Amino acid sequence: MKNSIKIKCPAKVNLTLEMVNKREDGFHNIKSIMQMINLYDYLTISTKESTNLQINLSGTSNEIPYDEKNLVYKAAKLYLEKACINNLEINIHIEKNIPIAAGLAGGSTDAAGTIWGLNYLLEKFNDTELNELCAQLGSDLNVCLNGGTILATSRGEITKQLPPAESALTLIKPKKLGISAGEAYKKYSLKEYKPQNNMTEKMLIAILDGDDINPYLYNDLEYAVFDDYKELQKIKSTYPQSIMSGSGSTYFVLENLKEFNLDNNYFMINNLKFISDGVGLAEA
């Protein structure tokens, strides 16, 4: 049995993100088409026998905690508890490349990668059970686990695989601005007018017909936070075709931008593309 593995954990963007209604548990029911892209965090997971259960995190970023507050830690703990394992030392090293608090599911994909990677090593659960574990931890984990082009509903944990879409992609982000999901959803709740554009259904038709999806890019959370941040307004005025991903603050355009027309308070990641898989083995 292997006792070490390296996992690639891709980022996602929201091609659409629309609120359906607010749930009794405080979350929102959503409808969203999410797309995995070839920007990766990497996890190195190793296990060894121990007299008690230990979960040790380390990593390359000074912006995230390496303790029980980290979603990776919570994912490892949940997996081991459900598998009734209490005699292993788990070491997880996080190579962080996906920006933090950026609407790109960096934390969620790492957590999904942890669950997938531990199961690769320990072989305790089937695919359905892995999805059930992911659904307990967050709204985007199931999308990151299954990958590709996905319709996500409920609070994001119910997923349906769509025909794979293809596109180049460029990310644009303010360097000093992160927006939490909690803030974005709260601001949406406070909006008196809530648009009903049905862009998800329109994009679904476009994907199934092989048509251009650009006209249907849409995000209710961009509408919720846009007026509060001049950084977002500057991106939109410079790149009118751009759209915010998730709760922000990252924007994207469906092309490979060759020139960057913003100042050094922003950064760009280009030469990206849609991918058809989710978390999985990193290439050796």
Rg of the chain in Å (alpha carbons): 19
Q: For helices 127-137 and 106-122, what crossing angle results, to 10°?
A: 140
Please indicate whether residue 263 is annotated as part of the active site: no
Beta bridge partners of 42: 8, 95
- Residues 6 or more apart whose Cβ sits within 8 Å of residue 222: 232, 243, 244, 248
Cα(148)–Cα(278) distance, integer angstroms: 6
- Per DSSP, the three-state class of 154 is coil
Chain center to CA of 181: 12
Of 12, 31, 74, 173, which is the active-site residue? 12
**Residue burial 172-182, b: 16+ Cβ < 10 Å; e: rest:** bbbeebbbebe
Active-site residue 273, yes or no? no
**Could you say which of 8, 140, 173, 220 is catalytic?**
140
Phi and psi at residue 222, to the nearest 5°: -60, -45
Q: Which residues are the active-site residues?
A: 12, 140
